[in-house]
Structure 1
Amino acid sequence: MKTFRCCVLLFFSVMLLGCNTSDVAQENARLTQELSALTSERDSLAERVSELGKELSALRSELDEIKHGAGRLLSDGERHLSDKNISDAEKAFSYILGKHPTSKEADVARAHLKKISEDRERQEREKAERINNSLDFMRVTTDKVEGITWYTPKKALGGYGETLSPLILYVGKKSEPWLRMKLFYKSDNWLFVDKAIAYIDGVKHAISGDMFERDHTGGTIWEVSDVSPTSVDLYVLREIIKSKETIIRFYGKQYHNDRKMTPAFKKALQEALDAYEVLGGSMERYQ
């Protein structure tokens, strides 16, 4: 009898435990489902908050552009204009006209664009006139034996064709024209030059010319390098033309000597470039 009661109690205990385990499992599943739904809702809300943040940022940016964009663009354009970055200045002014056409800044931008256009047209007219007249500034000599005509800027020369400029650009022409560049050192004492540099507004630039020929007469000596200029040389020559100050330094075996490029000597370089163009030369040859 005692054994039977134990078995019955054990049976009901197992049944009760089985019922509790099933309920717990169901409740756990329900809570898990609710947690998953809440997590999904949280992620969705976070994504929406992020989207709203981006929209708010875009609206603030648009509002800032409406309030201050034209002014900033005008300031940028005028800064580019002051730095002589004409292309960038035109882009900024043109953008104002497209983005803020009725603003007061647009009126200023139109005035700047008109001035840029007028300046460009004037410069083109002056260049055309300068080029057309360039041969008038040349001393022309002809080598009948070789069939070559030489064009040398008069501003680089003195009386009787004497060389004055320490750096000369000149043109030779047979069937086609070509450029020559001469470094010219003249003194009453030998320097034995082996190279030269151009000191342009505080910056040193190398110049081609490492083979100097030497001659003398009546107590005067000449040391000369005569070469075909490279694309780098032509860049340096253009920098010299527009420079405020250029010094040509000749380096000898022991000493050096400085010669200044005067405004006339700088202009002679430009005249040689213009003459080369008039005679049919192409700068692509020196690229």
Structure 2
Amino acid sequence: MALKKCHECGHQVSTSASACPSCGAKVKKGMGCGTLILALFVSLIGMGILLGALSVWSASSRRSADLDAEVAAQKAFEDSRRQFESSISEKFQLLVEKKNTNDIQGALKILKEFETFRRTNYEGFDTLKTQILTASALERLKTTSSTEAKVIHGIYVELCSLNPGNSQYSLQASKYAEAVKQAEIARIAQESEARAKAQRERERKIKESTASLVARKDEVKGVTWYTHKDSPGSDASKAVFAYIGQKGDALWLRMKITYTADDWLFIKSFTFNIDGTNHSLPISFFRDRKSDHSGGKIWEWVDLLVDAETFALLNKVSRSTRTILRYEGQQYYSDRDVSSSEKLTMQQILTAYGALGGQPPSK
């Protein structure tokens, strides 16, 4: 039975009692679990309402601030407009002076004021505006290089629009329109020639780099296979070489490693020691591992799609001074040097792959 002290006399009282047996004081009850949960729930609801109210107040405050800023901007505009209206005759006189003294930039600023406050109907404004804009265009004409025919043509078109019927501006606009046309024709011709030259160069590289290759078309699969004419055949005793596959615009590389001997090696992996640095490829890379036994000889080979790692390996082997290839078997291994001929065929296959448009694998 749980006990607690009476808050009046200090005697121990059961928590289930309604009053102290000594002094008769009522026992204060603690908050039950259900009551506590309810109180917490009510508090959370109250907090949610408070946060919602704060959010509404914040949004309302922002809208109010935006409205105040808009009202202030409108008031400032109206104040400026009234000030402009009160001195419009002086503004127009100043505009005339700016134009007469060739202060074109200053005149353009005043023109903008007339347009901002929509007083372009002021008497004499249109004529003065045409004169100022014409002077501005002529100033830009002076600072434009004669080689910028398109820009000059645009300025003369602007002058023709400002001064309809001006034969001099019209003649110059036509002259530069023709110059722009001829420049565009020359540009297109140059680009066309550049593309043709690039295509000829690409074809030359393809022809040169594939001169040592033999193409074989698989009519059923629609794939053309490119192998080096010096690459060993399928029955080569020990060889490593690459070859190219092409279908439409798609290009890819494959690498083949062969091993023939009197006894099985049961190859698990390959290690390339390239100028003293080891690079291993586990057998899991080679999904087409096969074996055969005929004529007293065993034959093991792998044929794999070249990925980014194998592509880098081929490049390193082809450019190495010395590469030792170790065939790692279940119990034994066999070492041999990759020959100069094998390295040369690798280089030429990789060059042809690039010339045909092949890209290094991304992964």
TM-score, normalisation: structure 2 = 0.40
* RCO higher in structure (CA 8 A, sep ≥6): 1
